[in-house]
Amino acid sequence: MTAVTFSNTAPSLSLHYPPGPDWYLNKVKLKITDVNDNVPEWNMKPYPYLAVVSPEAPAGTFVYQLQALDGDEGKSGEVEYFLSDGGDGCFAVDKQRGQVVTTGLVLQRDREYLLSVVALDGLGSRSPPAMLSVVAGARAPQFTNTSYAISIPENTPEGQPFLAVFAIYFQNQPISYSLLINPSSLFSIKQDTGEISLTRTLDYESDQRRYLLMVRSSEEPGSLSTATEVQVLITDENDCVPEFLQSIYSVDGVPETVTTATSLLQVLATDCDSGLNAELTYYTLSPDFSISPHGTVFPAGRLDYERPNHLYEFVVMATDGGAEPHSGTAMVRVRMANINDETPEFSQPV
């Protein structure tokens, strides 16, 4: 039998040999060592990685802070940083601290420099390259997404934010957001936070279902600005209740001889939703009748004229296919006609 026990210092392995004339107990201590099974992973936010620097920046000017994490321990988890490509010799990377700095070479005003950087751990495991964009001069704000897409349910309350766009700014000036394209003025945006909301509640069945917005971020004072697209898709909510075209359906003169294949009448309900929310299933709340998926009512068995008032009265129900289904009901009246299906009988034997 073998047993493994753990202490605060190290796990130990106890070997118990079967009892007998000669047996003994050995205790072995186990030391778990780390394996270099992780690679450095970039941890800078937000993405993409963007920076600006003055074209007149002297050597050693700080540009950007790199950061990568390695899940290993010891030397396997120690990370160093390297510039693998780009920059035309104008930039350098401090391999220990991960700081990108200028080298003192002349920078071309308003030019974008693309730097490819990598991170290596102490045993040589390499991260995927990261691309850093550096502009020498002024740079317009940059949205963290090249475009946005979001689905919101109909009946989203007016004024309730459903999306916040965000732009990185580089000039240390106030930034504001505005809508360049705003279909029918249905949307509004908070200038300081980028939160987008509706100016009125939308209905999936009567309003447009897809909207394209154009959002601008700009720094003040000045005219540095950038724009991005926002697609808004309106989704259907199960907010309609099935309604029958009539509250009462009736049929008269139904003979007792009808069979279960005889169509008695047709009921019909509608639902103003879409998709599954508008797919209806019919039910009858009487054991004497059945109803088809299309709302046709049939006898479920033999019908009898000799019932009170010669009348069958029951409820039919239509239920939609929503996750939280809604139902509507109507009344059905079936009045029977007498058939000469009884033979005369004497009250006394002859």
Amino acid at 274: S
Peptide bond into 153 cis (omega under 30): no
CA dist list (Å): 284 to 109, 118, 317:
79, 70, 6
Q: Which residues of 224-244 are buried (b: 16+ CB within 10 A; e: fewer)?
A: bbbbbebebebebbbbbebeb
Give the pTM: 0.68
174-187 per-position pLDDT tens digit: 889 999 999 999 99
Instruction: Answer yes or no: are the C-beta atoms of 297 and 316 closer than 8 Å.
Output: yes
151-197 per-position pLDDT tens digit: 999 999 999 999 999 998 887 778 899 999 999 999 999 999 999 99
Instruction: Answer yes or no: are the C-beta atoms of 266 and 297 closer than 8 Å.
Output: yes
The tokens 């099935």 sit on which residue?
242
Report for 27-31, 211-215, 217-221, 304-308: range of highest mean pLDDT: 211-215
313-342 per-position pLDDT tens digit: 999 999 999 999 999 999 999 999 977 666
Q: How confident is the model at residue 2 (pLDDT cuts 50, 70, 90)?
A: very low
Q: How confident is the model at residue 6 (pLDDT cuts 50, 70, 90)?
A: very low
pLDDT higher for 249 or 120? 249
Nearest to 191 by CA among 164, 169, 231: 164
Nearest to 186 by CA among 175, 197, 171: 197
Q: Which residues of 172-197 are buried (b: 16+ CB within 10 A; e: fewer)?
A: eeebbbebeebeeebbbbeeeebbbb
Whether residue 32 is predicted with pLDDT greater than 80 in this model: the reply is no
Torsion angle (degrees, nearest 10) of CA 15, 17, 18, 24: -120
Whether residue 3 is predicted with pLDDT greater than 70 in this model: the reply is no
54-73 per-position pLDDT tens digit: 999 999 999 999 999 887 77
**Dihedral sign computed on CA atoms, order 39, 40, 45, 46:** negative
Least confident of 8-12, 119-123, 269-273, 288-292: 8-12
Confidence at residue 220, expressed as pLDDT on a 0 to 100 scale? 74
Question: In this structure, what token pair is assigned to residue 262?
Answer: 């005889």
Average pLDDT over the chain, rounded to an integer: 88
Least confident of 17-31, 125-139, 331-345: 17-31
Confidence at residue 105, expressed as pLDDT on a 0 to 100 scale? 95
Whether residue 254 is predicted with pLDDT greater than 50 in this model: the reply is yes
Domain architecture of the chain: domains with CATH: 1-32 (no CATH), 41-136 (2.60.40.60), 142-235 (2.60.40.60), 243-337 (2.60.40.60)
How many other β-carbons are positioned within 10 Å of the β-carbon of residue 345?
5
Q: What is the CA radius of gyration of the chain?
A: 39
Whether residue 133 is predicted with pLDDT greater than 80 in this model: the reply is yes
Whether residue 15 is predicted with pLDDT greater than 70 in this model: the reply is no
